[in-house]
Amino acid sequence: MSATPDAAVTTPPSSLHLDAPPLRGRGSLIIVSSPSGAGKTTLTRRLLAELPTIDFSVSYTTRPRRAGERDGVDYHFVDAAHFERMVAGDELAESFEVHGNRYGTARAPIDAAIARGRDMIFDVDYQGANSLARQWPADSVRIFILPPALVTLEARLRQRATDTAEVIARRLAKAIEELRQFEAYDHLIVNRELEPAYQVLRAIYLTRRYGEVDRPDVPLPLAELAARVAANRASDPAAHARALVS
Ligand code: 5GP
């Protein structure tokens, strides 16, 4: 963890214009998974708020809306019949049952976004991540967010006052199942503290989009961001993941 680039990278200039074309000429699927309670939503929402080149893939779900969630923004909340029609019409690129509810990703917005050079971020479980990466192998990057410890995860799940004890127990069991899938991912980020974890996510994203070499048309220290990604890899987050599930 020695090569930590300085704090100047953390706050982009307010005049940040990211209108340079993506390195690969098309957008990417930025697939982010983690067990519930590892901080994935906070991290991905911040990336979306900061960077104008990404859209959030709003999933369809049959799960009831939680307090504060907005239809069409957090999820498209639909009933089982509606969901079934989408499956029958082959409108979903992937769909799975998670925690007893159905979740799915619409196919059409993905092709449209990446062809236009926009990136899409996906908050899906490991099954969804595998399925999307199989269908868009060259366009996908898979990122897994790890909690610092299982007890932290449990504590974070308990803080969610909206869930009952039974739901929390189910989520914890699912979290461990989810953690066991870490090897399928391109990048692992241990979310010990939000800020450094965010900086790694941001660096992974920006170097994926613009490359690892500084460019005159991109007002970002790409080589420095690439060093941050390399430092994260060198910190051996896989060893942490193995310890969590052992
Ligand atoms: P929550 O109900 O807490 O919002 O999400 C529960 C789980 O479902 C999370 O792991 C989330 O990543 C996953 N999820 C959300 N949308 C989708 C989706 O469209 N497909 C899949 N496979 N999983 C999803």
- Whether residue 2 is predicted with pLDDT greater than 90 in this model: the reply is no
Domain ranges for the chain, please list them: 7-57+117-245
- Contacts with 104 (C-beta within 8 Å, 6 or more apart), sequence order: 59, 60, 61, 83, 86, 87, 92, 93, 94, 95, 96
- Whether residue 22 is predicted with pLDDT greater than 90 in this model: the reply is yes
- Whether residue 167 is predicted with pLDDT greater than 60 in this model: the reply is yes
pLDDT in tens, 203-240: 999 999 999 999 999 999 999 999 999 999 999 999 99
- The residue-averaged pLDDT of 175-181 equals 91
User: Under CATH, domain 7-57+117-245 is a member of which superfamily?
Assistant: P-loop containing nucleotide triphosphate hydrolases (3.40.50.300)
Cα–ligand 1 centroid distance for 21 (angstroms): 30
Atom of ligand 1 nearest to the CA of 34: 10
- The residue-averaged pLDDT of 150-158 equals 81
The lowest-confidence range among 1-15, 114-128, 178-192 is: 1-15
Cα–ligand 1 centroid distance for 103 (angstroms): 6
Lining ligand 1 with CB less than 6 A are 36, 59, 63, 94, 96, 98-99, 103-105, 123-125, 127-128
Atom of ligand 1 nearest to the CA of 40: 12
- With CA atoms as reference, report the closest residue to 32 among 140, 121, 119: 121
Which run of H or E residues covers position 30?
strand 29-33
Report the pLDDT value the prediction gives residue 14, as an integer from 0 to 100.
44
Nearest CA to ligand 1 atom 3: 36
Cα–ligand 1 centroid distance for 214 (angstroms): 36
Nearest CA to ligand 1 atom 19: 104
Q: Residue 165: left (phi > 0), alpha (psi -120 to 50), or beta? A: alpha
Question: How many other CB atoms are found less than 10 A from the CB of residue 106?
Answer: 17
Nearest CA to ligand 1 atom 10: 125
pLDDT in tens, 54-90: 999 999 999 999 999 999 999 999 999 999 999 999 9
